[in-house]
Amino acid sequence: MTELINEIFQNGQWTYSTRLTYTYDSKNNILTYLYDGWRTSQWELCFQWTYTYNSKGNRLTSLNEQLINSSWMKVSRENTKYAADGKSDTTIYELWKNGQWVVTQRYTNTSNVNEKNETYESTLFESWSTDKWENASRITEAYDSHGTYFYYLDEEWENNKWVNYEKYIITLDANGKELSLLGEDGRSGSWVTWYRYGYTYDANGNIISQNHDHWAADHWVYQDDGRFTLTDFQGNDLVFYGYKMDVTWKTAELDVKDNEISQFGLSIFPNPATGSVKIGYDIIKPGSYSLSLMNASGIGEIRVFGPELQDAGNYKLDFCTDDIVPGMYLLKLTDGKNSEIKKILILK
C-alpha cells in the first residue's frame, strides 16, 4: 500500500490538502485508489476507484464511486477491450444516472508502424447519441524509429465529415534534438501557417536559444507568450517567457561523492495517456526520491508521490489519470540534487 499526502501553504503555514491511498496486486497493478480531503481537523473519504486487469496487465475495468452519507454511490465506470493483434483497444465510458448505467463516450486507440519504422497512433473519440455512436474528434500522433515524438494532428467531426483543426510538425537533428516546431491551423478548410518555435544547441547538446513567432498574413511576428523551462542541477525549474531567449551555460565543480551520478531513466507508457500510465525509473544510489506531476508551465504540483526512501533498483508504478483534466503536463523525478523531466500528454 502507498499513501501520499499533499499539503498547501496557506496563511503562513503548511496545511493538509488531500491524501491518496493505493493498493496493488502482485504485478504492481493498482487495485484500489482512495481519495481523501482534509476537513478542518480530520480526513474525509471522498472517492474511490477500483480496477481489474487481464493476464497481460492491461486494464479491463475502472469503477469510480463517491462516499455520500456513509454509503458508496456509483459515479462512472470504464470498460476496455483489446484486439487480439495488440494494435488497438476500445474503452467505453458510462455514467450512473437514475439507478442505471448510461453510455456516454467511447475511445478507440489504434497503432500502426510504416515502412520507415515510424509509429502512428490514433485516438478516435465518439459520443453516444440516443441509439448510435457519433464521431466527435480524432487525434493522430507519430513517433520515429527511436520513439521520438514528431507529429500531431487534431481533427473534429463537423457536418458529417472530418475537419482539420490543428497540426504541428517537429523537425529533429541527427541526435534527436528538437530544432523546430511548426503549427498550422486548418479550421478555414485549408492549412494556414500559425506559429513556430525554433531551437539551437551548443556542441554538448545544451539548448542555447529559443524563438517563438506567429504568422501574420505574410511575415513572422515575434510573440512574447513563448515558454522556456530549464532545470538546474538541484532540480529547480526556471521558467522564462518571451519571444526570444538566449542561454549561456557555464561549467561548475560539483561535489559528487564516490563518482556516483544519478541516472534515472525515467519512462512513461503509454504517452499520450488515457486511464492508467506505467512509470518506470532506475535508482543507482539509495536515497529519498519524489515524483511530481506539474502543469505544462512547470508551475504547481497536481500530484506528488513521495518523498520516499528507496533502495537501488528498477521501479515501476501505475499512475491513474482518470481525474486529471486533459492536456500537456510535466513529470519530474528528483532526489533533491538531480532531476529528470518528461512531458506527458493526458487524454480522455
Sign of CA dihedral 329, 345, 92, 167: positive
pLDDT value, residue 199: 87
Least confident range from 32-46, 72-86, 115-129, 210-224: namely 210-224
pLDDT of residue 255: 38
pLDDT the model gives residue 158: 94
Would you say residue 78 has pLDDT above 70? yes
Work out the percent of the chain whose per-residue pLDDT is above 70: 86
Least confident of 44-58, 160-174, 275-289: 275-289
- Judge contact between 298 and 239, C-beta under 8 A: yes
Residue 342 reports pLDDT greater than 50: yes
The better pLDDT of the pair 10, 94 is held by 94
pLDDT at residue 261 tops 50? no
pLDDT of residue 163: 95
Which domains does the chain show, CATH number per domain?
1-80 (2.40.128.720), 261-348 (2.60.40.1930)
Average pLDDT over residues 221-247: 63
**pLDDT the model gives residue 119:** 93
Residue 265: predicted pLDDT: 81
Mean of the per-residue pLDDT values of the chain: 83
**What are the residues whose beta carbons fall under 8 Å from the beta carbon of 110, sequence distance 6 or more?**
87, 88, 121, 122, 124
pLDDT higher than threshold 70 for residue 348: no
pLDDT single digits (tens) 153-181: 999 999 999 999 999 999 988 878 889 99
The mean per-residue pLDDT over the stretch 251-258 comes to 39
Whether the per-residue pLDDT at 250 is higher than 70: the answer is no
Q: Confidence class of residue 104 from pLDDT cuts 50, 70 and 90?
A: very high
Position 300 pLDDT exceeds 70: no
Listed ranges 234-243, 266-275, 293-302; the one with the highest mean pLDDT:
266-275
Would you state the pLDDT for residue 287? 81
Per-residue model confidence as pLDDT tens digits over 309-335: 777 778 888 888 877 877 788 888 888
Which pLDDT score, from 0 to 100, does residue 242 have?
A: 62
pLDDT at 297: 63
For residue 132, pLDDT over 50 is answered with yes
pLDDT for the residue 254: 34
- 220-243 mean pLDDT: 63
pLDDT score, position 92: 96
262 pLDDT band, cuts 50/70/90, is very low
Distance CA 28, CA 57 (A): 9
Q: What is the pLDDT of residue 290?
A: 83
Nearest CA to 15 among 38, 34, 44? Answer: 38
